[in-house]
Homo-oligomer: A and B are copies of this chain.
Amino acid sequence: MLADKPKRVNMENGLFNYLSLTSEEKTLIDELNIIKCYNKGTILLREGDNVDKCYFVIKGCIRTYYLNNGDEITAEFYTESNPLSPFCLRNKKPSSFNVACVEESLLCVTTPKVEAIIFRKFPHFESLYRMLVEEVLVNTHISFAQFKNASPEQRYENMIVNRPDLVKRAPLSQIASYLGIKPESLSRLRKRVNNKLQMV
């Protein structure tokens, strides 16, 4: 499923339910036509393609993944308020990963040019965005540090504690590669961890 036909978004029922905006801000966002809704399974970007867009998840879940000897490895899940700005956009290299919708997703899809227009007109958006990216960066560093010295069981436990929604939103095979665990091992240890957490 390709990304070229997003659904038209009724703004009054879409973005504006999730963000509190002034009427001037609403008008600009409407004019720029940057809010898109994609079906579950839509591929937004393919490995090797040129990159020209940044994504910001308003509602839904998208993931980055790549192929390793034919196996799909999920690199990261992006859910509500997570920004995904492929670095290949800045170094002008083809994308090193794929981006796909794990569920139906309402996204803010921009380019560096469009971002510049928005930030020039409403500088406080840049401040908000900067603080948000900083927060995501720090959380990523913490998850990474926890991951490094954790057993597969601890990794799954950490995910349940830090991002409990992912278990319900993504299929087991995607979560397994995301945690660096084989699907059959995840299937086994999941029962143990769930029993343990229910007992706490």
Residues of A within 8 A of B (CB): 64, 66, 68, 73, 75-76, 83, 85-87, 90, 96-97, 119, 123, 126-127, 129-131, 133-145, 147-149, 177-180
Contact = CB atoms under 8 A, between A and B. Distances in A.
Question: Max chain B CB contacts within 10 Å: which of A90, A135, A137, A142?
Answer: A137
22 contacts: A64-B141, A68-B149, A75-B141, A75-B144, A75-B145, A75-B148, A83-B134, A85-B138, A87-B135, A90-B131, A97-B145, A119-B127, A123-B126, A126-B130, A130-B130, A133-B137, A140-B141, A143-B144, A144-B144, A147-B147, A148-B180, A149-B180
B142 A87 contact: yes
Q: Could you say how many copies of this chain the assembly holds?
A: 2
Given A140-B140, A147-B180, A149-B180, 20 more contacts: A68-B149, A73-B145, A73-B148, A75-B145, A76-B145, A83-B134, A90-B131, A90-B135, A119-B127, A123-B123, A123-B126, A133-B133, A133-B134, A137-B137, A140-B141, A143-B144, A144-B147, A147-B147, A148-B177, A148-B180
Contacts of A180: 147-149
